[in-house]
Amino acid sequence: MNFWKKLAFILICTSIILQTVAARELTADLGLSTLDAFSPDGDGTNDELVITLFYSGNFSKVSSWQLTIIDQRGFTIKTFSGKNHKMPKRIVWDGATDTGSEIYSLNDYAIILRIVPSAKDEKKSGQKKVVAAKNFTSGILLETVEKNKRWRFAVNSLQFASGRPELKTGTEDQILFNNYILDVIAAKLNEYPDTAVTITAFENNLENTTESNIDQVLPLTQGRAETIVEVLVQKGIDRSRLNAIGRGGANELSSPTDENNSWKNCRIEFDVEK
């Protein structure tokens, strides 16, 4: 190979190396102030979720960005977004939603960040979009019914066997998640040791008749409330503190036939009183 061919070869290799270095992959990530305690109930503790945005490109100008918060049923409940300006490095969320829906105790949520890079960053990286995601589970949202005397919280994420009082045992994930929820509940009740706890179960009365409520739904909810009592006793809560009540289809939060919202009726309420 003569001198000029060698030189051309070296220049081509150098160009390839420089292009490879220049074409840096754009990455993004999310950091959360808590993964399991966000509880916007106004008590001054974990009422806000601080979301930190990480991006390897130019923060000062992106073509567009969007951060969405999605509930465990796949519905988008909150969106933050912007176009052609500086993307924030931190977002503080107080739990308010765009849909008016509530944040529920011990529910899973997903946060997804989508970035369309600036034209300059897109040219360097060859990427038209950068995505990052993070999951978190809310904590217990405690309602003060009577100051320093009575509190209440509800949990709608426990998974029971269909039409049965027992907790689901179908998959390891179901078992682990139910166990996690009940561990958190037991820990919360231990924060109020000198209290009595009424555990009340509710379920959809799909037939919407008094007869079906009395014959089927009331016994089912009584059994589910008693199941929760037994598990909490196993987790160290004194049985004498606990009382189980089944309320059937009472106190509906939604129509039992509303496919998008009827799950809200299937809940366990904990009334904690000194």
Q: CA-based Rg of the chain, rounded to a whole angstrom?
A: 26
pLDDT of residue 87: 94
Q: Are residues 147 and 269 in the same domain?
A: yes
**CB distance 117 to 130 below 8 Å:** yes
Name which of 52, 51, 56 is nearest 27 in CA terms.
Answer: 56
Considering Cα of 189, then 192, then 193, then 199, what sign does the dihedral take? negative
Q: What is the pLDDT of residue 249?
A: 80
Residues, the chain: 274
Chain segment 138-167, per-residue pLDDT in tens: 999 999 999 999 999 999 999 999 899 999
Alpha helices in the chain (DSSP H): 3-22, 119-125, 172-190, 210-212, 218-234
CATH code of the domain in which 207 resides: 3.30.1330.60
Please state the domain count of the chain.
Answer: 2
Of the three residues 113, 137, 161, the one that is the final residue of a domain is 137
9 burial via Cβ count (<10 Å: 0-12, 13-18, 19+): exposed
Of 74, 103, 137, the position where a domain reaches its end is 137
pLDDT score for 187 = 97
CA 10-13-19 angle, to 5 degrees, is 140
pLDDT of residue 273: 97
Chain-centre distance for alpha carbon 205: 27
Q: Which residues pair with 150 in a beta bridge?
A: 146, 273
How far apart are alpha carbons 163 and 24 in whole angstroms? 55
Residue 149 and residue 260 in one domain: yes
Place of tokens 């939604």: 254
Instruction: Tell me which of 137, 166, 189 is where a domain ends.
Output: 137
For the chain, residues with pLDDT lower than 50 are 1-22
Whether 262 and 196 share a structural domain: yes
Q: Is 207 inside any structural domain?
A: yes
Report pLDDT for 206. 66
State the CB neighbour count (10 A cutoff) for residue 47.
14
CA 115 to CA 41: how far, in whole Å? 31
Tokens of 146: 């009577």
The reply to whether 169 and 245 lie within a common domain is: yes
Residues 131 and 147 in one domain: no
Q: Which domain holds residue 193?
A: 143-273
> What confidence score (pLDDT) does residue 251 get?
77
Q: What residues have CB less than 8 Å from 74, skipping those under 6 apart? A: none
Q: Is the dihedral of CA 8, 10, 11, 15 positive or negative?
A: positive
